[in-house]
Structure 1
Amino acid sequence: MQLTPTTPSPTSAASAPAGRSGTRRRRTLVAGLLATAAAAALTTVAVPGAQAADNPYERGPAPTTSSIEAVRGSYAVSQTSVSSLSVTGFGGGTIYYPTSTADGTFGAVAISPGFTAYQSSIAWLGPRLASQGFVVFTIDTNTTLDQPDSRGRQLLAALDYLTQRSSVRGRIDTSRLGVMGHSMGGGGTLEAAKSRPSLQAAIPLTGWNLDTSWPEITTPTLVIGADGDTVAPVASHSEPFYQSLPSSLDKAYLELNNASHFTPNTSDTTIAKYSISWLKRFIDNDTRYEQFLCPIPRPSLTIEEYRGTCPHTS
């Protein structure tokens, strides 16, 4: 706020007593004006700091289209393997995390593979997301045949291990967690979000689940489907998933163009771009990423369709 000092009128200045008393008054007036100006300057300087403190969870530089489409973000990444013999409730996996601790703690994401698949099928997401400022746990399931409800429980067990027992637990903010998964792992993502409303973000990738109604979910959810999916066709899976989510929820539906059920198994710029934006926006509450989600992205060579609730409310 800019303060405008009140200056004396010529009449009042002319009527001021002469001599030492007048001199003292003029000095007092000048000193007061200088103090007011200094206070205003201090207020102006303090504003950027106050604005920065509004969101203590921002991590990394201001995003650009090229930065979220890049194969790697601004953070160097380390990884550690977790043996299935050392955990309960899921099948072990690999943790990817920013090497530096200079920025404090990070949000975390657990990711499940699909039916008959192993963590290797989703491994590309580990370093790609971690390099943007997340701790990422790509997991193996107890068996490759586990159904979505089981995979949902395993995702939550993996998050519990990650935040309570893992070697990187001190790097994680336990209030900022999310889940992702492919195929039946995508169905498991919805199960996990339903079971644990405290999750901040959910992203099912070409998800499969016989349950297509999810009105109980309160976690911001990005549903990603594929126009050429014959295993979990969008008309019977991803679209009903999205439509059944509450209308009041921050939600979006991205249908990939010229893509198949297995597109999420290999490095994909469109999946990465919108997954990063969604996770940043809702796990980190980083509104700098809102620009990539709202206004609604238009159809393109890689996007068949995008629907969403804009502007976001969370």
Structure 2
Amino acid sequence: MSQHESTALASRPARAWLARKAVAGTAVVLGLVAGMAAPQPALAADNPYQRGPNPTAASIAATTGPFAIASVSVARGNGFGGGVIYYPTDTSQGTFGAIAISPGLNGTWPGIAWLGPRLASQGFVVFGIETNNLNDSPTSRGTQLLAALDYLTQRSSVRTRVDATRLAVAGHSMGGGGALDAALRRPSLQAAIGNAPYLPSGNLSTDRVPTLIYAMQNDTLVPPSRLTTMYNTIPATTERGYIQITGAGHNYIGQPSTNLARTMIPWFKIFIDNDTRFSQFLCPLSNMSGISQYRNSCPLI
């Protein structure tokens, strides 16, 4: 089902590094042809955003990643309803990219809180937010996700641990719609993930942020047919992915899921950290177990 639809926008801050890497790669190839190539440096030195050891199929499916983490609670205010920040305690590798996540209609962060430690232990700062009201619209949740990122990078107690140029959003249901709404309004974001996302317009034709959409095969609230149509509105110039989880209902994300984690982690690693080591897990999808449909714009980077 995979086909190459596009490459990422070169104007994005994190993509500039890739352009420099491509030039450097050309020089290496020319050197090899001339028989004068020097040993290449380690990838970590080549990519200043890379964090953590070389990934494996087991490491992206593990309940705990390679980074020890801590968390801090945030009170209501600052444009959103508070929440919890999870962050790696390691300060030796520099700053980390960050992800703000919103729950869905009538949901609270504890309902999907397994995502916090699961993602943070892979080398991200993760901000699981509470919304101002349980019935906030996708547009309101998008506004709150952006406010949460601004708070995280400018005023939070962990702001010095965050790279403010490498930010992403995610969410479930109306929170997923909020993540997509935030991506439409802030194209400088590095990645967006909507899990069974509800976005009233269903239109992502102006989306410039690498976007992954999850559909649940047995979802009657936000059916896969609606999400397939929405996915198809993403421009060919934007990196995109679509994953349908076999036999799952709308609230599948409420329980820890290896099928979600092992695909979310590579998406965030590729686009937040520019870490091509993770491309092997999505291009092609290395494990289709529990996944009934997969569409993408591989090779992604």
Unaligned runs of 5+ in 2: 1-30
CA contact (8 A) 1:94 1:137 kept: yes
Q: Once superposed, what is the RMSD of the aligned Cα atoms? A: 1.8
The CA distance in 1 between the partners of 2:277 and 2:74, in whole Å, is 34
Query: What amino acid maps onto 1:99 in structure 2?
Result: T
* d(CA) in 1 for partners of 2:288, 2:119: 24
CA distance in 2, matches of 1:216, 1:182: 21
**Matches for 1:170-189 after TM superposition, within 5 Å:** 170-189=160-179
Distance (Å, rounded) in 2 between the aligned partners of 1:88 and 1:103: 29
Q: 1:278 corresponds to which letter in structure 2?
A: W
CA gap 1:297/1:52 in 2 versus in 1, 3 angstroms: closer
Pairing partner for 1:259 from 244, 248, 265: 248
Distance 1:71 1:298, change over 3 A: closer
The AA in structure 1 aligned to 2:153 is: T
| Aligned-pair CA distance for 1:248 | 2.1
Q: For residues 86 and 153 of structure 2, what CA distance do their matches in structure 1 show?
A: 14
Task: Identify the residue that residue 26 of structure 2 maps to in structure 1.
Answer: none
Partner Cα separation in structure 2 for residue 124 and residue 105 of structure 1: 23
Q: Is the 8 A contact 1:257 1:303 kept in 2?
A: yes
Amino acid at match of 1:145: N
What is the one-letter code of the residue matched to 2:268? Answer: L
Aligned match for 1:121, one of 97, 111, 120: 111
Cα distance in structure 2, aligned partners of 1:99 and 1:241: 38
Render the CA deviation track for 1:239-283: whole Å, top value 9, x for unaligned.
Answer: 122111012211000000011100011100011111100000000
- Matches of 2:222 and 2:181 in 1, distance apart? 17
Compute the displacement of 1:298 (Å). 6.4
Shift of 1:296: 4.1
Distance 2:51 2:288 in 1: 30
Give the corresponding residue for 1:305: 293
Q: Output the TM-score relative to the length of structure 1.
A: 0.83
**How many Å separate the matches in 1 of 2:223 and 2:115?**
23
Structure 1 residue 293, shift from structure 2 partner: 0.8
Whole-Å separation in 2 of the counterparts to 1:283 and 1:122: 21
CA distance in 2, matches of 1:77, 1:225: 30
- In the TM superposition, what are the counterparts of 1:144-155 in structure 2 within 5 Å? 144-155=134-145
Say whether the 8 Å CA contact 2:206–2:234 is kept in structure 1: yes
Provide the residue aligned with 1:290 in structure 2: 279
Counterparts of 1:260 and 1:193, CA distance in 2: 25
Work out which structure has the larger RCO, using CA pairs closer than 8 Å and 6 or more positions apart in sequence: 2
Amino acid at match of 1:48: P
| Counterpart-to-counterpart distance in 2, 1:115 and 1:240 | 22
Secondary structure of 1:305's counterpart equals: strand
Partner of 2:262: 273
Aligned equivalents of 1:284, 1:276: Cα separation in 2: 11
Q: Is 2:64 aligned against 1:76?
A: no
* Offset of residue 190 of structure 1: 0.6
Mapping of residues 206-225 of structure 1, within 5 Å: 206-225=196-215
Equivalent residues of 2:138, 2:178 under 8 A apart:
yes
From the superposition, tell whether residues 128 and 299 of structure 1 become closer, same or farther in structure 2 (CA, over 3 Å).
closer
Instruction: State the AA in 1 paired with 2:152.
Output: L
Q: 1:171: Cα distance to partner?
A: 0.3
* Partners of 1:121 and 1:82 in 2: CA distance: 17
Q: Is the 8 A contact 1:254 1:306 kept in 2?
A: yes
Equivalents in 2 of 1:180, 1:276: separation in Å? 12
Contact 2:168 2:191 in 1 (8 A): yes
Retained in 1: the 8 A contact 2:100–2:127?
yes
1:132 aligns with 2:122: yes
User: What is the number of residues matched between the two proteins?
Assistant: 271
Q: For residues 308 and 298 of structure 1, what CA distance do their matches in structure 2 show?
A: 15
Long gaps (5+) in structure 1: 5-39
**Secondary structure of 1:275's aligned partner:** helix
Q: 1:82 and 1:248 mapped to 2: Cα distance? A: 37
Tell me the residue number matched to 1:158.
Answer: 148
Q: Distance in 1 between matches of 2:125 and 2:258?
A: 20
Report the alpha carbon displacement of residue 172 of structure 1 after superposing the two structures with TM: 0.4
Pair member with larger Rg:
1
Kindly, what percent of the aligned residue pairs are identical? 51
Q: Which amino acid aligns with 1:44?
A: A
